[in-house]
Amino acid sequence: MTDALVLKDVRKTYGQREAVHGVSLTIPEGEIFGLIGHNGAGKTTILRMISTILKITSGTIEVYGKDVATQPDEVRKLISYLPEDAGAYKDLTGRRYLTFIAEFFATGKERDEMVEKGIELSDLGDKIDYRIDTYSKGMMRRLLIARAIMTSPKLAILDEVTSGLDVINAYEIREVIRNIAKSGVTVIMSSHNMFEVDMLCDRVGMIDQGNLIEIGTPAELKEKYGKETLEEVFVTAVKGA
Amino acid sequence: MSHLTNIIRKEVKELLTPGSIASVVLMVILFAALGGIIGDEVSKSTVMPVVGIANYEDQVIVTEDGEWNAYEFLRNLYINSGDKRITPENVDEFVIKMDKHDVLAQMQENNATVALVLSDDFKKNIEDSLNRIGTGGVYLKGEIDQYYIYTPSGMMSGTISSAVTGYLVSFMNASLSKFITGEDAPYIDFLETPIDGSNTFTYVNGESFADVTPSEISEAMMGQTIFIPMIIMIIIMMVGGIVISSMGSEKENKTLETLLTLPIKRVTIVTGKIIAAAVVGLIFGIAYMFGMAFYIGSISYMSIGSSDIDMGTLGLSLDLTEYLLLGVSMFLSIACALGICMILGAFAKNYKSAQTMTMPLSILTIIPMFITMFSGWYGSNDLIRAILFAIPFSHPMMATEALLNGDIVLVIGGLAYMIIFAVVSIIITVKLYDSDILITGLGQNKYIEKIRGQGRKKR
């Protein structure tokens, strides 16, 4: 199986503080990989480095064999990044926003098809032609998920994708993620929601103070620590780390 | 603490940021410095100008009581003028003996602001008129022609030389009047003002124009000296505000991270933002320009059209090529402004902080605007000139003045400087877009952390 994402001894320093300490992991194609950790553990920093928007201090990251540090333009063609609390251009309608993004990936009929796919994924109905500043948080998140997925990325990078959403919206977005993974898209996502990660992710990496302290399937980790839930595993792993 | 005090404290703390305090301090320094520049100009207008005098040797008025010599009068006037720079030993550096031929060259050589040339009939006219007193008829006055060199140089251009020279002729009139009359003289206009100083000649770019003073030209040029710098300032501040606010909005709305992960080159994002801001800024700027033109046109004394002086005849109007150069200069200055704003915008945390970020740009536009208005490039000292040249927005403001002076080197030099400035600032912007600073801000820069760390230790 092809490796979608390979991190080798990745470190990130902010000023004089090292935020990520030599993280190494490999994610095969089609996997949903969850990064869990408390606030400030380094999850977002890792996702931002994979997304080419933060420089790697040392180590290497490869997305489908393309080096993030030396081939960022190539990597950007393969990925789609959805930041935590991301927004959209509020003066645009949902449809115009999706078209704006699609213009960077395709032209003509292909672009139109991409936009239609985005509209379908967002499931916003006639609200797709409303201005974005009229959207609720759930609607905005659905639009952004649609934006991230309609371009058919090979690697979707999702940061706290269901954060702040109600039960229904969160459920629907998880369904979308499951479906895209089935279609061959690799997903790396961060979350505070252990329940969500347990249900959704094929494998999980636990981050604490910039270190990858555990990695495995939810079942493997629960078995290793003799715990019922991933939440208990995380607490035990962090306290024991 | 009351609820009100609590809210006031919070609001004041939010408003008094290091950025806003620094901006106010900078503005105070700026206005103090501008006050100094304007004060210098005003003081220049109150000191005695270097004056040339020609054709006086054979025009000495002789009466029973003695003789009146225009040159000697000027020497004494200068020595006793109260100008601390002038002493009996160095007065010849201020009152220059000249030949009546080729006055312009002698004025340029001696750096004289004005030259007074007595007419060949000066002595004859006065003596004939004196002999005719009591018999009636026409009293001919002694004519003194005044020559000026006009240099377009802000609002002060011309006013210094014309004003002081006006006084010189008045003093000469009073002196000669007193010399030729005595206590019991009847009232005759000739006796009150025996000298006719109404013939004025002003050299504009080496060519002599009659019956016009630098002061009059300066007044007619007010429209250009005030209007152009103000318009440029407005356009630059407008496009600058658009770009910085756009960056602030991208960060506040959390759209920047998405934009940076799209499959487009950083330089494309930077260029797109710059071009869009330039187009919108120009549209707004042109709209303001029309509004301002109507406004200024309604103030009669500032209107070019209200003056009797035809600037075209004086060679003080721009031709098509010169307008083109002015246009290029304006375009490049906008490009420089956008370059600076993209750099500043990279550090804006949100829309609010973006507003504060426009302050350095405002300062950089206000400085050249005021200097151009008051003293201009040609009326400024070397330090001020260095500051003017270094600020890219000065160049379109100074371009009209330079083109009217025939100083193409300054204009072309300014264009070259602005091209380099714009390219360098765009390169820096692209580098910033490719760095962590755009996402993390300066707070996590190692140098900033070092400074903060040292600050804490000191406390």
Do B6 and B152 lie in a common domain?
no
B84/B163 same-domain check: yes
Q: pLDDT digit string (tens) for B238-252?
A: 888 888 888 888 888
**Cα gap A209→B348, rounded to integer Å:** 28
Is position A122 within any domain?
A: no
Q: How far, in Å, are A53, A72, A159, A210, B64 from residue A43 at the CA level?
A: 14, 20, 8, 8, 107
Q: Does residue A14 form part of some domain?
A: yes
CA distance A161 to chain B (A): 14
**CATH number, position B115:** 3.40.1710.10
Q: By CA distance, what is A102's nearest residue in B?
A: B262
Residue A217 belongs to a domain: yes
Tens digits of per-residue pLDDT, B141-185?
888 888 888 766 665 555 555 566 677 888 888 888 888 777 555
Q: Which residue among B156, B189, B212 closes a domain? A: B212
Closest alpha carbon within chain B to A105: B263
- Gap from A230 CA to chain B (nearest CA, Å): 30
| Domain count along chain A | 1
Confidence (pLDDT) at B416: 96
Which chain B positions have a beta carbon within 8 Å of A54's beta carbon? 436, 439-440
The least confident of B21-25, B385-389, B435-439 is B21-25
Question: Does B155 lie in the same domain as B66?
Answer: yes
Highest mean pLDDT among A230-234, B326-330, B359-363, B372-376: A230-234
Question: What pLDDT shows up at residue B7?
Answer: 78
B194 and B297 belong to one structural domain: no
Total structural domains within chain B = 3
Contact residues of B toward A, CB < 8 A: 253-255, 257-258, 260-265, 435-436, 438-440, 444-446, 448-450, 453
Q: Which residues, given as ranges, of chain A have pLDDT below 70?
A: 1, 241
- The stretch B421-439 carries a mean pLDDT of 86
What pLDDT sits at residue B102? 86
Q: Are residues B407 and B280 in the same domain?
A: yes
Contacts of B319 (CB under 8 A, 6+ apart): none
A38 domain-assigned: yes
Using the predicted structure, report yes or no on whether residue B56 has a pLDDT greater than 50: yes
Query: What confidence score (pLDDT) does residue B271 get?
Result: 84
| Residues of B with Cβ-Cβ distance to A105 under 8 angstroms | 263
Give the per-residue pLDDT at A54.
92
Closest CA to A67 of A7, A21, A153, A26: A7
Q: Does A174 touch chain B (CB under 8 A)?
A: no
- Find the CB nearest B436 among A54, A73, A104: A54
Question: Which pLDDT does position B11 carry in this prediction?
Answer: 73
pLDDT digits 0-9 by tens, B111-120: 887 889 999 9
Residues in chain A with CB shorter than 8 Å from the CB of B260 are: 51-53
User: Is residue A114 assigned to a domain?
Assistant: no
Is residue A94 included in any domain, yes or no? no
Provide, as residue numbers in chain A, all residues whose Cβ is less than 8 Å from the Cβ of B264. 76, 104
Domain hosting residue A196, numbered range? 3-85+154-240
| Confidence check: pLDDT of B289 > 80 | no
| Residues listed for chain B | 459
Question: Which CATH number is A73's domain given?
Answer: 3.40.50.300
| Same domain as B133, residue B34 | no
Provide the domain limits for residue B18.
1-46
ipTM rounded to 2 decimals: 0.90
- For B145-159, B421-435, B442-456, which range has the lowest pLDDT when averaged over its residues? B442-456
pLDDT digits (tens, 9 = 90+) for A60-80: 999 999 999 999 999 999 999
pLDDT in the model for residue A166: 84
Q: Judge whether A171 is closer than 8 Å to chain B, CB to CB.
A: no
Contact A87 B264 (CB under 8 A): no
Q: What is the pLDDT of residues B179-227, one digit of tens each?
A: 877 755 555 567 667 777 777 888 777 777 777 777 777 776 666 667 7
* B66/A204: higher pLDDT: A204
Range B219-222, long-range pairs (CB < 8 A, 24+ positions):
B219/B301, B219/B307, B220/B304, B220/B307, B220/B309, B220/B311, B221/B152, B221/B157, B221/B304, B221/B311, B221/B316, B222/B155, B222/B301, B222/B302, B222/B304
Looking at the structure, tell me whether residues B417 and B370 fall in a common domain. yes
pTM of the model: 0.69
Report the percentage of chain A scoring pLDDT > 90: 69
Mean pLDDT of B284-309: 59
Question: Which of B163, B195, B212 is the C-terminal boundary of a domain?
Answer: B212
Where b means 16+ CB within 10 Å and e means fewer, B179-216 reads bbbeeeeeeeebbebbbbbeebbbbbeeeebeebbbbb
Q: Are residues B181 and B206 in the same domain?
A: yes
| Per-residue confidence band for B457, with pLDDT thresholds at 50, 70 and 90 | very low
Contact A15 B439 (CB under 8 A): no
Kindly report the average pLDDT of chain B as a whole number. 78
Q: Are residues B22 and B116 in the same domain?
A: no
Q: What is the pLDDT of residues A102-113, one digit of tens each?
A: 999 998 999 999
Interface residue A44 vs chain B (CB under 8 A) = no
Confidence band, pLDDT 50/70/90 cuts, at residue B304: very low
Nearest CB to B444 within list A14, A76, A86? A14
